[in-house]
Structure 1
Amino acid sequence: MELRGKLALVTGGSDGIGREIALQLQAAGADVIVTGRSAEKLQAMAGLDFGTIAGDLSTPTGVDAVVAGVTDKPLALLVNNAGVGSEYELDKAETLENAAHCIRTNLDAPITLCTRLLSVLRAQPEAAIVNVTSGLAIAPRAGGSIYCATKAGLRSYTQAIRHLLKDSNVRVIEALPPVVATNMTAGRGGKKMSAHDCAAEIVHGIRTEKSEVNAGMVKVLQLVNSISPALARRIMIRF
């Protein structure tokens, strides 16, 4: 996909992987609008010549604000990157709202944005949807059951709509990051991929029209999974 002159929307684009994707799309010549919840971070992105839309994607109002902000624009690239973790505990009903918040942000919002913005994307000569899932969409870890479920659900949805749109002008790409050094993973040990390097692989995948971008160590996980899904699950469940 030629990025120069294209209008892109990056949800969760004021921090972490999303911010790096936005910066690299802009460097490639795209016009970029980012969404986020932090007024301070959005203001900083506006100072770098990004368009901004404030909105909490776990709420209908937030989703409506994002849709309204781009419906009348020549949107050619939708990057569903916004995501949150969940403090859900299996035996504690009081954590169910945390789980619901995660599901609304990570799964419901991307599905809604794909649905409501598809006509805008179809109106362009060339367009793409990028759904950012996770290596944990391939095989879950026990400590993040709700997050893993949302990413696995988004992976399945992405594969399905890719088939539905295969004869259209809208390319559907899934990006699967490994553990990336962001605010979400702060405090977790182990080796982490930088947000910059992860974004670079995703943007390269967009430019080279890949259907799936396995970033960093997810390449290894995919290889293991292709040989033995059961082994991949055994490795990841304790990760």
Structure 2
Amino acid sequence: MRIAGKTALVTGGTDGIGYEIARQLKERGAIVAVCGRNTGRLASARDQGFQAIEADLSTKAGCDTLVEELSGVPIDILVNNAGMGGPSALLDGFDLDQTDRAIFLNLNAPMHLIAGFLPTLRQRPEATIVNVTSGLAIAPRADGAVYCATKAGLRSFTQALRHQLKATNITVIEALPPVVETQMTAQNTHKKMPAADCAADIVKAIETGQTEAYIGATKMLRVVSEISPALARRVMINY
């Protein structure tokens, strides 16, 4: 896909990987809308020339707001990037409200937005949907049960969606980042990939039509998983 002149929506596009994707798409000549909840970051995004929409995608109402705000806009690229970690362990007091928010934001929201924007995407000469999952969609770690479950679910949904849309003008991409330097990973002590580098691989996948973008360390995890799924699970469960 030639990005120049295209219109893109990047969820969670005011910070972290999402911001870098939005910035790099804009640098290539795209018109870019972003959404988020932090009013300061939204204001900063507007100052940088993005259309910035306040929407809480952990709720159906927030998804509906975003679709309504962009009604009639010719979206060519939809990047479902927004996400959250969720509770880490059952034994320490499982926060079910936070669990429900994480499930909706990480898994339900991409489905709602794809359903909402699909009629528009199908009218474009060419279009792309990017669902950002994680290396943890391949094999989970013990202290990220909710996050891993939602990303594994989104991975399965993306594969099925790609098959359903294979005869259309829409390319469906799954992007699988490793641990990336963001606010969400601030307490993670593992080596982290810069958000700009991760975003560059995702934008490259959009440009080339690559349907699966294994990024950084997830390339090796993919190889291990293909050789021995059990070994991949053993390696990752305490990662």
TM surpasses 0.5: yes
What one-letter code is carried by the residue in structure 2 that aligns with 1:5?
G
Q: Tell me, in whole angstroms, the C-alpha distance in 1 between the residues paired with 2:233 and 2:70.
A: 40
Q: Any residues of structure 2 matched to 1:20-99 within 5 Å, and which?
A: 20-91=20-91, 95-99=95-99
Q: Any residues of structure 2 matched to 1:147-226 within 5 Å, and which?
A: 147-226=147-226
Q: Which secondary structure does the structure 2 equivalent of 1:75 belong to?
A: coil
Q: Tell me, in whole angstroms, the C-alpha distance in 1 between the residues paired with 2:128 and 2:197.
A: 21
Q: Alpha carbons of 1:123 and 1:220: their partners in 2 closer, same or farther (altered >3 Å)?
A: same
Q: Tell me, in whole angstroms, the C-alpha distance in 2 between the residues paired with 1:96 and 1:107.
A: 16
- Structure 1 runs not aligned, ≥5 long: none
Q: Alpha carbons of 1:137 and 1:94: their partners in 2 closer, same or farther (altered >3 Å)?
A: closer
User: Aligned pair 1:15/2:15, yes or no?
Assistant: yes
Q: Tell me, in whole angstroms, the C-alpha distance in 1 between the residues paired with 2:94 and 2:193.
A: 33
Kindly indicate whether the alpha-carbon contact (under 8 Å) linking 1:88 and 1:95 is maintained by their aligned counterparts in 2: no
What one-letter code is carried by the residue in structure 2 that aligns with 1:28?
R
Q: Which residue of 1 aligns with 2:229?
A: 229
Q: Tell me, in whole angstroms, the C-alpha distance in 2 between the residues paired with 1:88 and 1:198.
A: 24
- Structure 2 runs not aligned, ≥5 long: none
> What CA RMSD, in Å, does the superposition of the two structures yield over aligned residues?
0.9
Q: Tell me, in whole angstroms, the C-alpha distance in 1 between the residues paired with 2:89 and 2:193.
A: 27
Q: Among all aligned residue pairs of Structure 1 and Structure 2, give the percentage whose two residues are the same amino acid.
A: 54
Q: Tell me, in whole angstroms, the C-alpha distance in 2 between the residues paired with 1:83 and 1:170.
A: 23
User: Aligned pair 1:140/2:140, yes or no?
Assistant: yes
Moved more, 91-100 or 42-51: 91-100
| Superposition TM-score, scaled by structure 1 size | 0.98
Q: Which secondary structure does the structure 2 equivalent of 1:2 belong to?
A: coil
Q: Tell me, in whole angstroms, the C-alpha distance in 1 between the residues paired with 2:119 and 2:71.
A: 9
Q: Which secondary structure does the structure 2 equivalent of 1:161 belong to?
A: helix
Matched residues, number: 239
Give 1:94 deviation, angstroms: 5.1
| Superposition TM-score, scaled by structure 2 size | 0.98
- The one-character-per-residue Cα deviations of 1:134-163 (angstroms, maximum 9, x if unpaired) are 000000000000000000000000000000
Give 1:61 deviation, angstroms: 1.7
Q: Tell me, in whole angstroms, the C-alpha distance in 2 between the residues paired with 1:204 and 1:174.
A: 13
Give 1:190 deviation, angstroms: 1.5
